[in-house]
Amino acid sequence: MLYQTHLVIHLDHIRANLLAIRAVIGPERKLLIAVKANAYGHGAVAVSRMAEAAGVDWLGVATVPEALQLREAGIRLPILKLSPAFPEEMEAALDAGVTLAVCDPDNAEALEALCAARGARAAVHLKLDTGMARIGVQPPSAPALARFLAERCPHLDLQGAFTHLPVSDDADPAYTEEQIRRFRATVAAVEAAAGPLELVHCANSGAVLGHPEGFLNLVRPGIMIYGFYPDPGTPRSIPLLPGLSFRTRVSFLKKVPAGTRVGYGLTWAAPEDTWIATLPVGYADGFNRLFSNRGRVLVAGRSYPVVGRVCMDQTMIDLGPETNVRVGDEVVLIGRSGEAEITVDEWAKALGTITYEVTCQISGRVERLYSDPQAH
């Protein structure tokens, strides 16, 4: 075993989450899963491969290199790039069979010119901004852009239209309900201008959990497939299983006398004679430096505090005056240990952030070990 600090990726849990979503949306709708940012830290290739076998229809990425990585691994599902492509990226995207989002005529024209030069066609999805002000055409301009595609871009097939819902995870449904109405009305105008669309979609995890009126004919969850809710206030209408556990091992152990100061800055002093364990995990692994003097970990079902500052590669914990813990023992940073558990939600709350950032910030240095008891 060369790894010490590692993530166990529970592919069986992620599969169960996918099947739970499928049960709610039914067999006819398409299911696109967001695998951007290395599948929110879980490993895009392994998750996509499992998802392909589990009946997922589409994958969503943020960047062209993310799509290339999936193609190089042999994944053949359709891939949608969820954000606009620069003209310099389009050739590589087309080579990899990535479906691109179109937000404006200049962008469409660049793609049309490239397709014409290659003598090839490309499907595109029109991105509408119905109330987030991130990317997308404004609803009043959408029919004109659709007509532009139909009349001036003979190599582009307008396959779909989508929008994004910035508060679908909120306990108050009003803004999202209005946004979905605006989206449907805009899609109707686009279809009147340019013909019927095959795929119309807006439902991120918040909407999959709380807005069935937004399912339309494709849903687009991300965080929930990894087992985490977008916000503590989102309805937990679908039970989810956590997609990862984060673990390390005790690397060093010593008893120190009362008054011993610990770590960079000497910010913590032992109140009594105590056992200090060192863990080979630090902020370079994504064990956030904000856990200095306030994080906790689990060893054999018991909780121990982080003492002193989290270093780049190592962290100290206080085991107390008597301990059975030994060098090599497993330490749980996120996940279950006996009856005890540290959740991604606990980290999000402690760090003042969201579940998404917690899993995305576990760094590339941390070995991913894939667990899939049901696979054969």
Ligand X SMILES: *Cc1c(COP(=O)(O)O)cnc(C)c1O
Q: Select from 115-123, 217-225, 294-302, 365-373 the region that touches ligand X (CB under 6 A).
A: 217-225
Q: Is 222 a binder of ligand X (CB under 6 A)?
A: yes
State how far the Cα of 318 lies from the Cα of 331, in Å rounded to an integer.
13
Q: Select from 43-51, 104-112, 116-124, 216-224 the region that touches ligand X (CB under 6 A).
A: 216-224
> Closest separation between CB of residue 299 and ligand X, Å?
32
β-bridge mates for residue 221, sequence order: none
Which one of residues 42, 164, 249, 309 is an interface residue with ligand X (CB under 6 A)?
A: 164
Q: Which residues are catalytic?
A: 36, 264
Q: Is 218 a binder of ligand X (CB under 6 A)?
A: no
Nearer to ligand X, 138 or 267 (CB): 138
Contact 98, 79 (CB under 8 A): yes
Contact 221, 248 (CB under 8 A): no
Q: Is 205 a binder of ligand X (CB under 6 A)?
A: yes
Q: Is 220 a binder of ligand X (CB under 6 A)?
A: yes
Q: Which of 140, 110, 108, 114 shows the shortest CA–CA distance to 126?
A: 108
Contact code string over 29-48 relative to ligand X, x by CB under 6 A? -----x-x------------
Using CB positions, name the residue nearest to ligand X: 222
Q: Is 223 a binder of ligand X (CB under 6 A)?
A: yes
Q: Is 6 a binder of ligand X (CB under 6 A)?
A: no
Q: Is 221 a binder of ligand X (CB under 6 A)?
A: yes
Q: Is 315 a binder of ligand X (CB under 6 A)?
A: no
The beta strand positions in the chain, using DSSP E, are 6-10, 30-34, 58-61, 79-81, 98-102, 122-127, 156-162, 199-203, 218-219, 244-249, 252-256, 261-262, 268-269, 274-279, 296-299, 302-307, 315-320, 330-337, 340-342, 367-371
Residues 66-85 that bind ligand X (CB under 6 A): 82
Length of the chain: 376
> Closest separation between CB of residue 219 and ligand X, Å?
9
How far are the Cα atoms of 61, 95, 156 from residue 110, in angstroms, in the given order?
21, 16, 11
Residue in the block written with tokens 């005529």: 105
Report the Cα 228 to chain-centroid distance in Å: 9
Nearer to ligand X, 220 or 249 (CB): 220
Q: Give the binding site for ligand X (CB under 6 A).
A: 34, 36, 82, 164, 204-205, 220-224, 230
